[in-house]
Amino acid sequence: MTDINELDTPAVLIDLDRVEANLSRVQAYADSHGLKLRPHIKTHKLPRFAKRAIALGAVGITVQKLGEAEVFADAGISDIFLPYNIIGPAKLARLKALHGRIRIAVTTDSAETVEGLSRTFAGSATPLTVLVECDTGMGRCGVQSPAAAVALAEKIANSPGLAFGGLMTYPAAGQVEANAAWLAAAKQALTEAGLPPSVVSNGGTPDMWRAHEVAAATEHRPGTYIYMDRSQVARGAGTFDDCALTVLATVVSRPTEDRAIVDAGSKALTSDLLGMTGFGLILAYPEAVITGLSEEHGTIDLSACASKPKIGDKLRIIPNHACVVSNLFDRVTLISGERVVETVAVDARGRVD
């Protein structure tokens, strides 16, 4: 079998043993707390890993785009959650087509979205399940209060073609208590209004190990946990030994004693800093700092390194954010240890709508 160091660069390597360990560890945690797991596939975009997560006990998957739902439905996944406001005739038609094939649910945070969904699904044999998205602290989408969640749930319940499915949030990292309190209050208000939520869907890898503290939640949607990355390690969600995705890069220039340039720039690692210093961790040179990226060059400061790489050396880099790396490569290479298992297409890469 080929050694990974024989691969051309830049290349994305996925360590299958770490993937399996990450999937199993988080599923076991969820099982131990009676929480359902509905992993987000945005991190890997590969049906094979979604199927493996389901085989281990996940109840279905989460996607962020209709195009992703279509790829995973084509691959045989039959229970998909798309937590997004689906708007406009083209997307509503695609959603309706998916609804005819698989079990799919969406979210909303506005009357406008509910009305578009209802116009599309009125008269359907099976109503579309719609959850209310809640802004429990993230400051992105979502209704702003438990009272607003009740009002929107009532609107969904009263809309032809739709069924109220519960609550969904993508919480702010580190705000577990506030998230838990928000969802508990909303659940209670809904129950009092005669609309007890059958699903309360919480998300995110950063606080995944505290998911059981969010008592109202019935399911959790981690994404990055399958690969982990430098930002998740910084947040304590895992260790560098859990990181399954690395970018293999070649040192193409050593212009000065303390500077190296690799062939992985923002087109391989992305510009995501996520509050950190440097654009990734170089496994063999952890003291090195990736100080800058242009599209095809990564600039590395080696001044803190006792030994330094030479031109032609291949380096493995743990990126700051694994999900965005998966979206940049048409193909990734599955590995076991230092050996290449298979190079595969990233089926749902680049599904922008």
> In angstroms, rounded to a whole number, what is the distance separating the alpha carbons of residues 87 and 61?
21
Give the interface size with a copy of itself as a residue count (CB under 8 A). Answer: 58
What's the Cα-to-Cα distance from 350 to each of 72, 147, 293, 345, rounded to whole Å? 14, 37, 22, 12
What are 139's strand-pairing partners? none
Site string for a copy of itself, 139-178 (x = CB under 8 A): xxxxxx----------------------------------
For residue 115, the surrounding DSSP H or E stretch is helix 111-121
What's the Cα-to-Cα distance from 267 to each of 148, 245, 308, rounded to whole Å? 41, 16, 24
> In angstroms, rounded to a whole number, what is the distance separating the alpha carbons of residues 305 and 281?
13
- Shortest Cβ 110–a copy of itself spacing (Å): 6
Q: Does 179 bind a copy of itself (CB under 8 A)?
A: no
Q: Which stretch, 20-28, 173-181, 207-215, 293-301, contacts a copy of itself (CB under 8 A)?
A: 293-301
Q: Which stretch, 79-87, 171-179, 211-219, 235-243, contacts a copy of itself (CB under 8 A)?
A: 79-87
With CB under 8 A as the contact rule, the residue among 188, 266, 336, 343 that binds a copy of itself is 266
With CB under 8 A as the contact rule, the residue among 151, 173, 252, 276 that binds a copy of itself is 252
Count Cα neighbours of 167 within 13 Å in the Cβ-side half-sphere. 37
Is 123 or 255 the residue whose CB approaches a copy of itself more closely?
Answer: 255
What are 36's strand-pairing partners? 219
Q: Does 91 bind a copy of itself (CB under 8 A)?
A: yes
Question: What 8-state DSSP symbol labels residue 241?
Answer: G
Handedness of CA 120, 126, 131, 132 (dihedral sign): positive
- Shortest Cβ 330–a copy of itself spacing (Å): 5
DSSP 182-235: HHHHHHHHHHHTT---SEEEEE-STTGGGGGG-TT-SEEE--GGGT--HHHHHT
β-bridge pairing 11-15 and 245-256:
antiparallel
What residues contact residue 252 under an 8 Å CB cut-off, 6+ apart? 261, 262, 263, 311
With CB under 8 A as the contact rule, the residue among 102, 296, 336, 341 that binds a copy of itself is 296
With CB under 8 A as the contact rule, the residue among 112, 192, 287, 342 that binds a copy of itself is 112
What residues contact residue 67 under an 8 Å CB cut-off, 6+ apart? 348, 351, 352, 353
φ, ψ (nearest 5 deg) of residue 104: -135, 140
Q: Residue type at 103?
A: R
- Shortest Cβ 237–a copy of itself spacing (Å): 17
Q: Does 219 bind a copy of itself (CB under 8 A)?
A: no
With CB under 8 A as the contact rule, the residue among 22, 169, 224, 250 that binds a copy of itself is 250
With CB under 8 A as the contact rule, the residue among 20, 21, 51, 64 that binds a copy of itself is 64
- Shortest Cβ 250–a copy of itself spacing (Å): 6
For residue 252, give both structure tokens.
Answer: 């193409």
Q: Does 328 bind a copy of itself (CB under 8 A)?
A: yes
Q: Does 330 bind a copy of itself (CB under 8 A)?
A: yes
> Using CB under 8 A as the criterion, which residues of the chain lie in contact with a copy of itself when the complex forms?
8-11, 42, 64-65, 84-85, 87-88, 90-91, 109-110, 112-113, 135, 139-144, 250, 252-256, 259, 261, 263, 266-268, 270-273, 292, 294-297, 299, 310-312, 323-324, 327-330, 350, 352-353
